[in-house]
Structure 1
Amino acid sequence: MESVKNSRKLVMFSCCFLLINIYVLVGAQDGAHKYVWQTKLLNDLLANYHKGVPPSLNGSPGPAVTVDLRFSLVNFDFIDEANEVATVYGWFYQAWNDPRLMWDPASYNGTDVMKINANDVWLPDIEMFNTGTVVQNLDSDVMVYSTGMVHRVPSVQITFICRMDFKFFPYDNQVCQLKFGSWHYHADVIILTQSIDDIDLSSHERSRNFELTNTSAKRNVMKYECCPEKYIDITYTLHLKRVSSAYSVKLVLPAALTGFLILATFLLPPASYEKITLCGLIFIALLLQLIYLHDIVPASGDTILGDYFAFALFIDFFATIIAAVSYNVHVRSSPKMQQHSSIMMKEMEGDDRDLRMKMPQNQSKIGFLRYLDFVCFVIFGIVFIVGMAIILGRRG
């Protein structure tokens, strides 16, 4: 009885194993069968296909190809601000209809979509028109449907020139434009459309240096002097605001503190030689800050902060000259003052007319220098406050 049970178990196990093998073989044959049909479909589609010719029926010129263009932004940043070079990472969604790639799914075992290498089919020559642009397409496949619809979503890395306005640096706002269109074909061959009126930001990653405040997309139909035909382009605009917290600590705060030190030099006694030393140290500090600003901003960039540094250097230079003259007057007048003081002590009734003439003259010089220091303190203080108010007001 026990042997009968074991025999039944063995038979059941053998049947299960056989069914599994049959299922695997059938699935493999079905997969191979689908692969054979896709291979046949690909060969039939590309047999008389010319990828250099825009889509047309039966090889004859057809209507203009409508290409739907959408842009999804992933990341944006300036890689070289001194040369105004920016880079963009994202995806381009392109869709168009190519009647030469239509087929009947029933004739190919129900196959209704095929992935084809982009180098084997016609592609719209969409290029970026910005100066100095380098576009790298990082995907080379297209999805083709039985209706003839072709979808392509390449990931792109775009390096281009974006003209910047550094006037209110580091609290500046920048506007960059990316202009795309067909490089060779006019509107009678390729019609660019946009199914979305803006940039797709669903995958956007915030930049470390700039915050994206606004975006827009505009379709333009242009007629150039060179050609009678019209050309279509789509221009994407990025509005950016600099993340200025780091520059506030490294540049703006030192500039403000250095400005206060310049004001302090006008409060020191005119005859103090320490005033000359302080003015020299401030001059060096301003030069170092100006060099740091020059490394960030291009030579053609005009900034309020740069004008502030230039004005501060001039005021500090002026303060140094005044300090040197004041100290020189003090040193030259001191021996005479001591000599006349001794004469006063010894000859109370002598002719001290020269003494009374020279002492007021020396005191009047020192008084004039003090008055000059006060005037410079007031003028530079007003300019300093107004300048910082403009810069900080721009920040808000």
Structure 2
Amino acid sequence: MSHEKRLIQDLIRNYKDLGIMGRPVKDQNDTITIKYGLSLIQILDLDERNQILTTNVWATYNWNDMHLNWSKEEYGNITKVRVRNEDIWKPDIKLYNYADTRLGELRDALCVLSDNGDVVWIPQAVFKSSCSIDIRHFPFDVQTCHLKFGSWTYDGSKLDLQFVYGPAFELNDYIQSNEWDIIFSNAERNVKYYPCCPEPYVDLVFHIQISRKVAFYNYILILPCVLLSSLTLVLFWLPPESPAKMQLGMNIFVAFFVLLLLLAESTPPAASSIPLIGAYYCLNMILITLSTLLSVVVVNLYFHGSRTQVPRLFKKLMVDVFARVFCMRAQLLGPMDQGGPRAALYIKNNREKRHQDIKYDRVGMFEMQGEIPWQHPPGHTAPTSNGNPGMGSEPDLSAETLGNLPSQCSSLEWEVKEIRRHLRSMSDRAMDKEDMEKRAREWKVVALVLDRLFFFLYLLVLLVSAFTLFKTTLMQDGAADAKKDKGT
């Protein structure tokens, strides 16, 4: 039998005779000191919905067991041996804020014994601890979680806890996470009194602060949100007569609702605060709803027609103020609609032209009949160009013809007056029609200016909200980087 086997048998036999239960101390009032530390290997998961942090660690236990020392000269100068952890006493150090349905957290590992009685036990462990999640700045959030360890039954007078690697996680073997970056980690030793027991209990609390990597969420949540917000601006540039003006707003609203459902899947359902990006989504949905409603108002005004006239104050505000500000006045208004000297000159010329078209001139009417018949003596017949009476010849004036001349002039004057009255009636109807078209055009102009006003208001609200959101997140990232540099 080798010295190692003989040593292990002797140690286990003697320990079994003494008993595993009970602390390895000479006197019951003596305090055994346990040095405890955690080597963080990997952050496996942070479940935001259930608020559980899952970590892969190596837990390190160091203590001195007076029943496990030996004389190395008697066993071939052996200074260290390995035994099963079930064969010796171990401290009952537990994770206080556990959130695990498994019965065991630690994997089996051998204990390393030294000839002076020191015991080193480093089991692998996967801890699931509860962690309060703050999603206000999601996905630019920074989370702080803690793992609290302590003896479950021994108070501070029986079992004392100290750090092995110092007050922090040991990160020499840490594997980088695809989702989280470690900003800093620290630990503290606390002595606390619980309502159940009057004795003080010692615990070690390990803190870790991590920041989320946002590359994935930039393409899933941020970029679609920015593109949809920009696409909403197109809604105000579509002409009111286009049916796509209403359909586009509803489609964008549905797209934002789908993004909101994706965001809800990544955040706790009962969070104390909602993420800023969620509030930004809701704000965009409200703005899209308002923009759709305003589009209905614009379309209604555009097709209002000539039923009523645009209120004077409203027209002055839209046409004389906002149309000038948006540089739309020259594009939307004609010479008659712009007002001022140019409109007055246009109306004057139009009226003079209309009056010239319907003016009655007796002399002119008679001149249309050729030369006046009474310029030739009675019985005289004007010769024609070919010697025969006909077209181009002067009529033969007789006494009967001269007697009927006043009645013919009276009849002709009456007919001309009827034509003049008819032309005036047609002119009035044309002016009424033109007035109706002008009122309908004024409503269209007001609708287009109002649509442009809504566009700039929406753009202003969108820029302010986006600036507020990203300013807050940048401040959060700056604070996280500062803490990371300080921790480094």
Both structures adopt the same fold (TM-score exceeding 0.5): yes
> Are 1:281 and 2:251 counterparts?
yes
Deviation at 1:147, TM superposition (A): 1.6
Taking the aligned partners of 1:279 and 1:393, their CA distance within structure 2 comes to 33
Q: Which amino acid aligns with 2:292?
A: T
1:321 aligned residue (286, 293, 298) = 293
Which residue does 2:20 correspond to in 1?
A: 51
Deviation at 1:107, TM superposition (A): 3.8
Which residue does 1:147 correspond to in 2?
A: 116
Relative to the length of structure 1, the TM-score reads 0.81
| Contact in 2 for aligned 1:266/1:377 (Cα 8 Å) | no
Deviation at 1:280, TM superposition (A): 1.5
1:306 aligned residue (268, 271, 278) = 278
Deviation at 1:285, TM superposition (A): 1.2
Which residue does 1:164 correspond to in 2?
A: 133
Secondary structure of the residue aligned to 1:251 is helix
Taking the aligned partners of 1:305 and 1:219, their CA distance within structure 2 comes to 38
Secondary structure of the residue aligned to 1:100 is strand
Which residue does 2:374 correspond to in 1?
A: none
> Are 1:390 and 2:469 counterparts?
no
Q: Which amino acid aligns with 1:380?
A: L
Aligned CA distance change for structure 1 residues 187 and 307 (closer, same or farther; 3 Å) = same
2:95 aligned residue (109, 128, 132) = 128
Q: Which amino acid aligns with 2:440?
A: M
Q: Give structure 1 stretches of 5+ with no counterpart.
A: 1-31, 338-344
Aligned CA distance change for structure 1 residues 390 and 335 (closer, same or farther; 3 Å) = same
Secondary structure of the residue aligned to 1:323 is helix
Note the alpha carbon deviations across 1:8-58, whole angstroms, 9 max, x for none. xxxxxxxxxxxxxxxxxxxxxxxx24255225413542242221211122x
Taking the aligned partners of 1:35 and 1:200, their CA distance within structure 2 comes to 32
> Are 1:362 and 2:362 counterparts?
no
Secondary structure of the residue aligned to 1:387 is helix
Which residue does 1:16 correspond to in 2?
A: none
Query: Mapping of 1:105-124 within 5 angstroms?
Result: 105-124=72-91
> Are 1:90 and 2:57 counterparts?
yes
Taking the aligned partners of 1:45 and 1:151, their CA distance within structure 2 comes to 19
Secondary structure of the residue aligned to 1:83 is coil
Deviation at 1:238, TM superposition (A): 0.8
Aligned CA distance change for structure 1 residues 392 and 47 (closer, same or farther; 3 Å) = closer
Which residue does 2:107 correspond to in 1?
A: 138
Q: Which amino acid aligns with 2:20?
A: K
| Contact in 1 for aligned 2:235/2:245 (Cα 8 Å) | yes
RMSD of aligned residue pairs (Cα, Å): 2.8
Secondary structure of the residue aligned to 2:427 is coil
| Contact in 2 for aligned 1:271/1:327 (Cα 8 Å) | yes
Taking the aligned partners of 1:329 and 1:75, their CA distance within structure 2 comes to 63
| Contact in 1 for aligned 2:98/2:128 (Cα 8 Å) | no
Q: Which amino acid aligns with 2:201?
A: Y
Q: Which amino acid aligns with 1:53?
A: G
Deviation at 1:153, TM superposition (A): 0.8
Deviation at 1:81, TM superposition (A): 2.7
Which residue does 1:266 correspond to in 2?
A: 236
Which residue does 2:427 correspond to in 1?
A: 348
Taking the aligned partners of 2:172 and 2:138, their CA distance within structure 1 comes to 30
| Contact in 1 for aligned 2:139/2:214 (Cα 8 Å) | yes
Deviation at 1:113, TM superposition (A): 2.8
| Contact in 1 for aligned 2:303/2:444 (Cα 8 Å) | no
> Are 1:68 and 2:35 counterparts?
yes
| Contact in 2 for aligned 1:270/1:369 (Cα 8 Å) | no
Note the alpha carbon deviations across 1:245-288, whole angstroms, 9 max, x for none. 11112211111111111233233344443221211121111111
> Are 1:99 and 2:99 counterparts?
no
Query: Mapping of 1:367-386 within 5 angstroms?
Result: 369-370=450-451, 371-386=453-468
Q: Which amino acid aligns with 1:142?
A: C
Deviation at 1:101, TM superposition (A): 2.0
Which residue does 1:231 correspond to in 2?
A: 201
Aligned CA distance change for structure 1 residues 265 and 357 (closer, same or farther; 3 Å) = closer
Query: When the two structures are aligned, how many residues end up with a matched partner?
Result: 356
Aligned CA distance change for structure 1 residues 63 and 374 (closer, same or farther; 3 Å) = same
> Are 1:214 and 2:179 counterparts?
no
| Contact in 2 for aligned 1:263/1:380 (Cα 8 Å) | no
| Contact in 1 for aligned 2:58/2:123 (Cα 8 Å) | yes
| Contact in 2 for aligned 1:66/1:96 (Cα 8 Å) | yes
Structure 1 window deviating more from structure 2 (306-315 vs 284-293): it is 284-293
| Contact in 2 for aligned 1:273/1:327 (Cα 8 Å) | no
Which residue does 1:247 correspond to in 2?
A: 217
Aligned CA distance change for structure 1 residues 334 and 76 (closer, same or farther; 3 Å) = farther
Deviation at 1:103, TM superposition (A): 2.7
Aligned CA distance change for structure 1 residues 328 and 102 (closer, same or farther; 3 Å) = same
Taking the aligned partners of 1:346 and 1:387, their CA distance within structure 2 comes to 66
Taking the aligned partners of 2:157 and 2:111, their CA distance within structure 1 comes to 24
Taking the aligned partners of 1:162 and 1:274, their CA distance within structure 2 comes to 48
Aligned CA distance change for structure 1 residues 216 and 35 (closer, same or farther; 3 Å) = closer
Taking the aligned partners of 1:391 and 1:346, their CA distance within structure 2 comes to 72
Secondary structure of the residue aligned to 2:197 is coil
| Contact in 2 for aligned 1:259/1:384 (Cα 8 Å) | no
Q: Which amino acid aligns with 1:152?
A: W
| Contact in 1 for aligned 2:52/2:129 (Cα 8 Å) | yes
Q: Which amino acid aligns with 1:325?
A: V
Structure 1 window deviating more from structure 2 (147-156 vs 220-229): it is 220-229
Q: Give structure 2 stretches of 5+ with no counterpart.
A: 310-423, 479-488
Taking the aligned partners of 2:16 and 2:105, their CA distance within structure 1 comes to 30
